[in-house]
Structure formats: structure tokens, C-alpha cells
Amino acid sequence: MKTPHISPFFARVYAIVTQIPKGNVATYGQIAALAGSPKAARAVGMAMRTNPDAPRVPCHRVVASDGSLTGYSGDGGIEKKSKMLIDEGVQFLPGCNKVDITLAKWDGL
DNA sequence: AAACTGACTTCTC
DNA sequence: GGAGAAGCCAGTT
């Protein structure tokens, strides 16, 4: 693996996202807190948008604070993202295009 | 070096 | 309950 010229914060975020267990999801705020700044949710989102290691970083496991799927520059957009989460075993709220963060939120190890 | 932008979060109406 | 505005962090231009 090559060393992409990314800032340490980005690397930290990617590491955290990569460590999210299957069937669970994490919020941007949670990742930001683990990265060292609980209010850097926006920066975390930017890291996902940059996503230099798309297949390596399960950015689809990262959702908003209320479980809403946001962003996803990949193919299919939110639709594809929700589909992947369902395939991973993440519970979704009925009638809403959001994940059941109440049950699927990552413990943060 | 300064200003703008962005896949966020939270409060208030 | 839904919509709008403000605040925050880090990166990019």
C-alpha cells in the first residue's frame, strides 16, 4: 500500500471507519470523537468524500446522528448505500430510508 | 495567509 | 413533526 499524502486526522478517521464491525454503523460525530475532536463531524464527512481507499473504507457504515444516510459519492448514491447496509445485516426503520441506529450503532469497541 | 466549502450536529420556530 | 439558521472542524483553492 502506498502512503497517500493525507493528514493524520484523515488517516485516523479511515482507521476508525475500517474498524467498524459488520452489521453495525457509526455516526460522523462518533468517529470524530474517536478521532480526537467530537465536533469535527464535518471534517469526518470530508474524509469520507475524499475517500482515497473506497473499497477499503466502509464509508457506507457511516451515517448521520439520527441514522439518516447522507452523501455517498459512489455509484447508486444513498439507494446503493442503504442496500449495502441491509446486505450487512443492519436493521432499517420501517417507512423511512434510515438505519435503526438505536440497534445498529457501533459500540466504539 | 485568508476565505470558502462540505457526506455534520443541534437549537429554535 | 418538519423546516430553517447558527456553530463547529479540517481540507482545499
Residues A106, A24: Cα–Cα separation, whole Å: 5
pLDDT at A97: 85
**pLDDT tens track for A33-62:** 999 999 999 999 999 998 867 778 999 999
Looking at per-residue pLDDT, the higher value among A41 and A94 belongs to: A41
pLDDT at A51: 80
A41 CA → B10 C1’, Å? 12
For nucleotide C12, the protein residue with its alpha carbon nearest to C1' is: A46
Percent share of chain A, pLDDT over 70: 95
Query: Helices A28-35 and A8-18: crossing angle, nearest 10°?
Result: 120
A3 CA → C1 C1’, Å? 47
Mean predicted lDDT score pLDDT of chain A:
91
Q: pTM to 2 decimals?
A: 0.92
